[in-house]
Structure 1
């Protein structure tokens, strides 16, 4: 781990200097802060306390460094996620974990929000998650100090991987100011297939495919239809296409489908929003790919080769979490009812680690108090 308490760049960076001043003022006033970006993921996590002062990071914009040949990009936290993806696409590169944008405006989501939420899209099961692509980061802690962790190269393995604590932390550890990410070339070939199968048959087929060296990059089952995306080398995709059978989906329609699934704009999630309006909750169950069907009432959608199960239901939270545990996983109240808590309670030792990390990075509890867990 390498840290720098007072980088000389602060004095030459008005946006960063302003954030430092706001944090130090909040520390002096004992005024807790709500870290804000584009707001596309404001729904995620516990409801923010009403007494929080907003700390807007969108002034930290721009791509600091991009070395296409090294497959690394360093970008400031307030930069639009859409801007970053467009820059990478111009060089034939992408973020393989397919971060969701959400929001009405596709330019709304920011890189900082992407890392803080730690959410990934359809390719998560095969490509990895946000944490797997974070090489380094600069973070403003609760003392108003700018700390730098990790580096800007893929082979940086010295010390503890502190930067990888940030994905999914929802801002409770500090203000993400800049992040270095590993990127990859876009796959040279892709193909989307669909099959009319029930839930049980789809799970069995996905499990079988998961044991074979096949170029399956994403899958989704809902309402009697299994959709699978193949991606990779041309020869591998063509061979798998011939082996799988099924009906091929036109490329433009396939692109819209996967983007809609990624951003929760497809029919399942539209139906979920309507159900939420009358008292249901959208749950995300993270379970082993080999887990059987979740015996819960309501609509179900399955992603990630069976590892991610969405369910919109009016079943009590205790029942949902009991079933998730029975399947050797856990459940998150993703949208809708937030009581008695969005995330599954942590075992005692893990909860203690979380508290110690919070105390180390943010001793006065300034940043997003209660957003990850009510007592954190």
Structure 2
């Protein structure tokens, strides 16, 4: 595998010498995400060949794998030992890889209960813009002194460097899971989800759409049964398929052909004044909106900011250079300085997050 890393290093240094840019990709499952800004003299750095599990100790709840490893393969191996990637990363395509999962920082329905991708990343190995082979973090919790670079790489969209390996924490699969469905208004759903969040209930996922609230309960059977009796609702026969449709965006809401906005806001925010359909996850903290034609994105971001958060144009059929919510000036300075330190020649995925960098 060292020969593959040497090839990557050669590509990076050649691009820097030629003042070319590199578009990092592997499975291509997240190609749609981020700004579509073509770099001058762009070249593709395909990381899919660097794949495989490096180290996995089920009793320690830690797995280290190469960035090109398919998520499906990781989940199959974990399932053999009764374990899981607790943040439920979306795949979107069968070829989805660990590197793309960490680089985009996307989490699935269990995120509000278990944590986000960066909460589980313990360490990374990466190549920076000089082609230097760097390691940060480790394979145990509380192993970081100074800046936590391994988690900084999470959600960086490949703009800081090429991920080679990732060590992350895994968790046991819950002994039992059921999904309940309840009819109610959006305002009622927001109120109930936030009240439940303050109680010792085994709620692992929530989703509200079109007058129905779906609630997943996970844990020991007595706890799940007791929570069902307390919350009420009808059990969905194939709850696993329902949550997969939300995670992979195969649910009917995501099949309208419209652009989709992802609003991350305060969970207690009241229903948002946006026209058309919305779908709500994470106890009200994540709102998906099927964008209406001609609706000003600036207005969407103002609404998100007023609700205590930000808005991302997650999927769009048009080329756009402002997918992500603009950073405040002080944060943009930090972003620029980090980019300059890790990628001084600006060769990695330029403009993928913000047009300037």
> What interval of TM-score do these two structures reach, taking the shorter chain for normalisation?
over 0.9
Query: The residue matched to 1:212 in structure 2 has which SS?
Result: coil
Residue pairs, 1:213-362, within 5 angstroms:
213-250=200-237, 253-271=238-256, 274=257, 276=258, 281-314=259-292, 315-336=295-316, 337=318, 339=320, 341-362=322-343
Query: The residue matched to 1:169 in structure 2 has which SS?
Result: coil
Superposed displacement of residue 160, structure 1: 2.1
Partner of 1:172: 159
Superposed displacement of residue 322, structure 1: 1.0
Partner of 2:69: 79
One of 85, 92, 100 as aligned partner of 2:90: 100
Query: The residue matched to 2:159 in structure 1 has which SS?
Result: coil
Q: Would you say the 8 A contact 1:192–1:230 is kept in 2?
A: yes
Q: Distance in 1 between matches of 2:211 and 2:349?
A: 41
Q: Distance in 2 between matches of 1:232 and 1:259?
A: 19
Partner of 2:36: 47
Residue by residue over 1:60-113, the C-alpha shift from the partner in whole angstroms, topping out at 9 and shown as x without a partner, is 11000000000000000001110011111111000010000002xx2x101000
Matched, 1:130 2:153: no
Q: Distance in 1 between matches of 2:234 and 2:319?
A: 40
State TM-score, norm by structure 2: 0.97
Gaps of 5+ in 1: 1-11
Partner of 1:9: none
Superposed displacement of residue 233, structure 1: 2.1
Q: Would you say the 8 A contact 2:37–2:321 is kept in 1?
A: no
Partner of 1:3: none
Q: Would you say the 8 A contact 1:317–1:340 is kept in 2?
A: no
Partner of 1:15: 4
Q: Distance in 2 between matches of 1:298 and 1:39?
A: 30
Q: Distance in 1 between matches of 2:4 and 2:221?
A: 46
Partner of 1:194: 181
Query: The residue matched to 1:82 in structure 2 has which SS?
Result: helix
Q: Distance in 2 between matches of 1:160 and 1:33?
A: 26
Partner of 1:185: 172
Superposed displacement of residue 340, structure 1: 5.8
Partner of 2:60: 70
Number of positions where the alignment pairs a residue of Structure 1 with one of Structure 2:
353
Residue by residue over 1:285-313, the C-alpha shift from the partner in whole angstroms, topping out at 9 and shown as x without a partner, is 10111111111001100000000000112
Partner of 2:352: 371
RMSD after superposition: 1.1
State TM-score, norm by structure 1: 0.92
Residue by residue over 1:253-291, the C-alpha shift from the partner in whole angstroms, topping out at 9 and shown as x without a partner, is 2111101110101110012xx2x2xxxx31111011111
Q: Distance in 2 between matches of 1:168 and 1:160?
A: 16
Q: Distance in 2 between matches of 1:163 and 1:249?
A: 39
Superposed displacement of residue 339, structure 1: 4.0
Superposed displacement of residue 29, structure 1: 1.0
Superposed displacement of residue 189, structure 1: 1.3
